[in-house]
Amino acid sequence: MTRSISDIAAGLEPSRAGSPLLPGSRLHIIGVGGTAALAAALHAKALGLSVSGYDQALTGESAAILSQAGIPVGSAASPEVLQSCTALNAESTVAISKAITSTQPNHPEVLLARGAGARAVSVQQVIADAAATRGGLLIGVGGTHGKTTSTGWVLDALVRSGVNPSAFVGGPLAAELGTAAGSPVHISGEPGFLVEADEYGGNFDTYHADRALILNVDWDHPDIFADRQAAVETFARWATYPATSGAIFINSGDQGGAELAALLAAGEHHNVYTFATSSLAGAQGADLIADVTSRGAGAFSITVRHLSDRAAAAAPALRALLDRELPIGLLGAHNASNGLGVAALAASAGGSADGIARSLATFEGVGRRMEVRYDRGSITVLDDYGHHPTAIDATMETVRQRYPGRTLLLAIEPLTYHRTAALLEGLAQSCSAADRVAVAEIFAVRDLDTTSVSAADLAERIAAMGTPATAPGTVLETAAALLPSITPGTVVLVMGGGRSTELAAALARGLTAAS
């Protein structure tokens, strides 16, 4: 059974286009440790607002970033933060993560905000308002898979081209892009703003993008999308603005992307441009087509072979990239395809051919995307955010290419009970491609029912497909169970969107101590 946006965003003001934030105004963020909430806090603080936050489970990394920015944070153990800041009142704004409103509309901090008469908005609304405050182009990157890496990649391509927008990226940015290092934001004094546009629960509805990219449309978030068609229709509603008044680039090599492009074309939206790699059926008739060439060990290059006149007008720098072999620094065929979209979007937003080419070749990605946590003595530990069957398939294929002949041990923390239950067979099939699997406890977020499925259920389905699988317990219990069995020649791929990064860190610590 699916839920509506009003269910997910209970008590929040409806989404709207961004409007400028007022310096000195009061903002309190509930669930400030979430990636988008952290970004909202940092951008608002940089624009002169009085910002505080609340979070019951703040990680050390997020706490350090907030402290460095001068943003006080309270929790159940330290509720005095609100008393130490300007009191909330009817002139204040409270921003809330939908991970909270979707399951706890009467959370104590939410009730406190209501009692003070403060306005309640989503954290994405604050980010959209920060973008409106900066002015200039609003650039959005959407898609079911790959949008965090691709948003960071577009930022890198633009910065290398001498264009310096502020940005929100859904993962940790390296020192040269993050403000501060490890944060999900880039803060610039120049106009322009780049956002990762998340489709869940209307999160991207606040982003009226002038330039946009959609990498793919798959069935995910089964609590709100009954099927892929429902997801396609939601993306189409968001895409209408850039398709009408700016430019949007859609991967027609992806089945959902092709369906989206066709739906928009039927509505006579004239600023839709399609791209695809030449080996895919969706390349026929695309505005931008590239050949993909393997360079070995999971590395690829792309060569743009076709560029329509209309796409060249929308993204002028692409002309200088035509018929030029462009090495892709990120591993995996999926990143070769995404890199083509990154090039198109960056070119439409003022990127130069040389800046884009340098970025395609050298961008090292964002945190928790095949991030190497340990690599010594022919044992490697990788930390990756993927949790959907499509992402698991692409990542494991890339790992096999990068580390041929090695034993692949998958340690996965499923994300949400409702997703795990709905995608159980697909998850089991994807995970079974590993040589051995350990399934940590499911990470609950936005879950109303935590009894529908278990980690043991997924492990049993994987084992039934012929791959040894266990369910050791929490992420730390899983790390402890795995450490004695990790032998030379093993690649441990840790995947999940919750606390799985703690599993990867624990493995790295344990292996370091034992070496």
DSSP state of 415: B
Mean pLDDT of 471-488: 98
Higher pLDDT, 275 or 77: 275
153-199 confidence digits (pLDDT tens): 999 999 999 999 999 999 999 999 999 999 999 999 999 999 999 99
pLDDT score for 78: 67
Which comes out higher in pLDDT, residue 109 or 329? 329
- SS3 (DSSP) at 294: strand
Tokens representing residue 342 in the block: 């990154």
Q: How far apart are CA 346 and CA 151, in angstroms?
A: 10
Banded model confidence at residue 57, pLDDT cuts 50, 70, 90: confident
Predicted local distance difference test score (pLDDT) of residue 86:
63
Q: Residue 497 class from Cβ within 10 Å (0-12 exposed, 13-18 middle, 19+ buried)?
A: buried
64-80 core/surface letters (b: 16 or more CB in 10 A; e: else): ebbeebebbbbbeeeee
Name residue 294's beta-bridge partners. 300
Give mean pLDDT, residues 68-83.
Answer: 78
What confidence tier does 83 reach under pLDDT thresholds 50, 70, 90? Answer: low
Superfamily of domain 5-123 in CATH is NAD(P)-binding Rossmann-like Domain (3.40.50.720)
Q: Is the pLDDT of residue 85 over 80?
A: no
Q: What is the pLDDT of residue 268?
A: 81
What is d(CA 334, CA 216) in angstroms, rounded to the nearest whole number?
11
Q: Cβ distance 495 to 395 under 8 Å?
A: yes
- Give the integer Cα–Cα distance in Å for 134 and 132: 5
389-404 tens-digit pLDDT: 999 999 999 999 999 9
Q: What is the pLDDT of residue 281?
A: 82
What pLDDT does residue 112 have? 81
> Do the strands 272-277 and 288-296 form a parallel or antiparallel pair, or are they unpaired?
parallel
Q: Which of 160, 166, 282 is nearest to 214 (CA)?
A: 282
Beta bridge partners of 466: none
* Whole-number Å distance between alpha carbons of 102 and 203: 13
Q: How far is CA 155 from CA 52, 202, 250, 368, in A?
A: 28, 24, 18, 18
Mutual angle of helices 333-348 and 147-160, in 10-degree steps: 50
The CATH superfamily label for domain 371-514 reads Mur ligase, C-terminal domain (3.90.190.20)
Please state whether 258 falls in left (phi above 0), alpha (psi between -120 and 50) or beta. Answer: alpha
pLDDT reading at 388 higher than 90? yes
State residue 80's pLDDT score: 67
Average pLDDT over residues 264-291: 93
Under 8 Å between Cβ of 288 and 264: no
CA 222 – CA 389 distance, rounded (Å): 13
Residue 76 above 70 pLDDT?
Answer: no
- Within 10 Å of residue 499's Cβ, how many Cβ atoms? 16
Question: pLDDT for 312-371, tens place per residue?
Answer: 999 999 999 999 999 999 999 999 999 999 999 999 999 999 999 999 999 999 999 999
* pLDDT tens-digit series, residues 279-289: 888 899 999 99
d(C-alpha 465, C-alpha 274), whole Å: 38
The sheet carrying 26-30 orders its strands as 73-74, 50-54, 26-30, 93-96, 119-122
Beta bridge partners of 356: none
Residue that wins the pLDDT comparison between 113 and 404: 404
User: In this predicted structure, what is the pLDDT of residue 149?
Assistant: 98
Residues sharing a CB contact under 8 Å with residue 357, sequence separation 6 or more, in sequence order: 321, 324, 326
Q: What confidence score (pLDDT) does residue 77 get? A: 65
As a whole number, the mean pLDDT across the chain is: 95
Cβ–Cβ < 8 Å for 508, 374: yes
CA separation for the pair 301, 287 (Å, rounded) = 19
* pLDDT score at 82: 59
Give residue limits of the domains in the chain: 5-123, 135-362, 371-514
Say if CB 435 and CB 408 are below 8 A apart: yes
Percent of the chain with pLDDT over 70: 98
Tracing tokens 């608002």 back to the chain, one arrives at 44
- What is the average pLDDT across 436-448? 95
Q: What mean pLDDT do residues 238-264 have? A: 97
Q: Which fold has domain 135-362?
A: UDP-N-acetylmuramoyl-L-alanine:D-glutamate ligase (3.40.1190)
Cis peptide before 299 (omega within 30 of 0): no
Query: What is 29-48 written as a DSSP string?
Result: EETTTSHHHHHHHHHHHHTT
